[in-house]
Amino acid sequence: MKTYEKQYVTTRFIIIGLPLIPVESLFVVDDMSYIELGLNIKSIFKTYLAWITFAIATILLVGSQFENVFPLSSGISFFIGLISLIISIYFFFVFQKTTEQENEVRDLFQKAIGMSLLPEYFNYDKSFDFQKKLIQTLKDKFGINNWRDTIKNNDYNEAQLPLLFTICAFQHKMSKSKISQENYDKLLNEYKNIA
């Protein structure tokens, strides 16, 4: 799901034949590191639909080879099974493929924080925690204590812009307010121009 530059979102499940209970969603940065996202509903949805349609396809395709297994004729069972298999393949390999516009924004995050993750991948609590870490990094690296005032007063430079953009993006994900949208759009446009 959402693989870009070998970084992606995945969800761990308790599996008993099929994925049953989601445990946690992760943003995989590389083979050795990941970030906990909380549960990512889209990743869970994709996994369930892919496996359910695959199970239906398997049952119908195998069952269509034997007469009187289903109340449907073998031809209809085979046809529905084939359609289910195509849908399953779609969910496994195509569903939620990244768009060009999304990849452009992910590139900006990659340049800013070394990861091509987006705030929408996090649940609210993990978003809040991650933003707190970014704010602390801004304070430690640049001595900025109030990022909102810094943006409001246009009191930042090109070196600070990527981190401010990232903080603002997480704020917008959490609040969805008019001011967070305006700040996000403003910093996005400025950051695109220097990146």
Q: Are 39 and 11 in contact (CB under 8 A)?
A: yes
Checking DSSP bridges between strand 18-30 and strand 8-16, what pairing results, if any? Answer: antiparallel
The answer to pTM > 0.85 is: no
Residue 69 has pLDDT above 70, yes or no: no
Q: Residue 78 and residue 76: Cα distance in Å, rounded? A: 5
Confidence (pLDDT) at 73: 77
Query: What pLDDT, in 10s, does the model give residues 111-152?
Result: 999 999 999 999 999 999 999 999 999 999 999 999 999 999
Q: Are 124 and 30 in contact (CB under 8 A)?
A: no
Give bridge partners of residue 22 from the DSSP assignment: 13
Amino acid identity at 31? D
**How many CB atoms lie under 10 A from the CB of residue 142?**
16
Q: Are 158 and 167 in contact (CB under 8 A)?
A: no
